Chains A and B, each alone.
Chain A
Amino acid sequence: MTMTVHVDIVSAEAEIFSGLAEMVIAPAAHGEVGILPRHAPYITTLHEGAIRLKINDKREESFYISGGMLEVQPHKVTVLSDTALRAHDLDEAAALESKQRAEHTLSDKQANFEYAKAQAELAEAMLQLRAIDKFRKITKL
């Protein structure tokens, strides 16, 4: 009888997977990690990529995530997946835009949204391209 660990994969907008698996392979910050049952407490950030679960000898499942967090307790693995694409520039642009909107509503004058908006769109496009690229590489292997 092989050992299994309880795995939960959730995102802010839905529950993706909940069940037992023999092994979890995830794209962690310093490269891929394989988590087996009774792993020491471990916490890391995840890159965009595929999370693969070895359910048993015959079955394997994989989920694509765009990033998130991985928490490991000896009998429990939790993946907190991001629904939103994240990057420093992108968050910065969103914050800037939100601030400008507040100023705009307060002053009620025409403010210049264009710069923040363009920056956000550019950052998003770049991130998407990168995510697609990575996913292609992973699926090819």
Chain B
Amino acid sequence: MASGKEIRTKIASIKSTQKITRAMEMVAASKMRRAQDRMRKSRPYAEKMHQVIGHLAHAHPEYKHQYMQTREVKRIGVIIVSSDRGLCGGLNTNLFKMSISAMQSWLDNSIEIDMCTIGNKATGFFKRFSGNIVATPKNLGDSPSLEDLIGSVKVMLDAYEDGKIDQLFIIYNHFVNTMTQGITKRQLLPITADEEDKNLTHHWDYIYEPEAQEVLDGLLKRYIESLVYQSVVENIACEQAARMVAMKSASDNAGDIIDELQLAYNKARQAAITQELSEIVAGAAAV
């Protein structure tokens, strides 16, 4: 059995670990609140943008933008959104697993893949996985701005325009609530129209100023950027939530171990006392 002193040092070290995990939990909780706030604030833009794109899809423009045309798929672009830091449970691992299985099915159909990784974890992982990374933004931190993402998104959009890639996907963690985050794979390009708006079924088109092409270029580019931005913001909220949960369970586990060790320590101490007593009694009886 371990001696009293050994157990005491062990308890002390676990206590200090617990202190750290508890602090991280609280930091993550407050950061999560801020991240959720940011998510809420950016939602109106995404919704309005979505509405405008929806209107546009129902208009009958004389000019059809190439972002809205489907092509035969030979090469696919993927944007993978991960966190910069670890210690957030299985958040990134699950995302990578899902990304790899998606990529594997593409590779099986002999479709090549270009990647854009957002977040240190994805960059590190896919570098080892020997993926073809074509763009990566600089460290975004906890409050990313749209500006930081424009460059990387442009690389992918340019590739699409030049016909280097024929589809563009984004894979990120979608925030459901604090306990649940879902992995989402979403097609960014070509843009597909979804639900019908009943008010807009008659034949109509916008007045474009200056030219349809120029206006659509700007609009669709912003649409894609806003989707990527929204994904990044959601992923950060997910990261903080996952970290909070992971750190909470780590603190709880540390507490359990401390309880067990405390019990072992008390037992060892009691055994030592009993042994000493019986030795004294035995000694006295011998005299």
Contact = CB atoms under 8 A, between A and B. Distances in A.
Q: Do A and B interact with each other, yes or no?
A: yes
Interface of A: 8, 10-15, 18, 28-30, 40-45, 68-69, 71, 73, 78, 80, 82-86, 91-99, 101-102, 105-106
Contacts of A45: 209-210, 214-215, 218
Contact of B48 (A10, A28, A91, A92): A10
A79 B158 CA distance: 26
Given A83-B146, A97-B151, A105-B127, A44 B48 contact: no
Contact of A99 (B42, B55, B134): B134
B208 A15 contact: no
B219 interface: yes
23 contacts: A10-B45, A11-B45, A12-B45, A12-B229, A13-B146, A14-B42, A15-B45, A29-B215, A41-B55, A41-B206, A73-B55, A78-B52, A80-B48, A80-B52, A83-B147, A91-B151, A91-B154, A94-B147, A94-B154, A98-B137, A101-B136, A101-B138, A105-B133
Given A12-B146, A69-B52, 13 more contacts: A8-B44, A8-B48, A41-B204, A43-B208, A43-B219, A68-B222, A78-B51, A80-B45, A80-B49, A80-B52, A91-B150, A98-B155, A99-B155
Nearest to A42: B207
B44 A94 contact: no
Contacts of A18: 44
B93 interface: no
A22 to B, nearest CB: 21
A77 B168 CA distance: 30
A15 B44 contact: yes
B198 interface: no
B123 interface: yes
Contacts, number: 132
Nearest to B151: A94
B5 interface: no
A82 B147 CA distance: 10
Contact of B147 (A10, A44, A71, A84): A84
B43 to A, nearest CB: 9
B42 A12 contact: yes
Contacts of A83: 145-147
Contacts of B147: 83-85, 94
B226 interface: yes
A135 B137 CA distance: 31
Contacts of B210: 29-30, 44-45
A84 B41 CA distance: 16
B285 to A, nearest CB: 76
A41 B205 contact: yes
A29 B226 contact: no
B130 to A, nearest CB: 10
Nearest to B210: A29
Contacts of B225: 12
Given A12-B146, A13-B41, A42-B206, A98 B52 contact: no
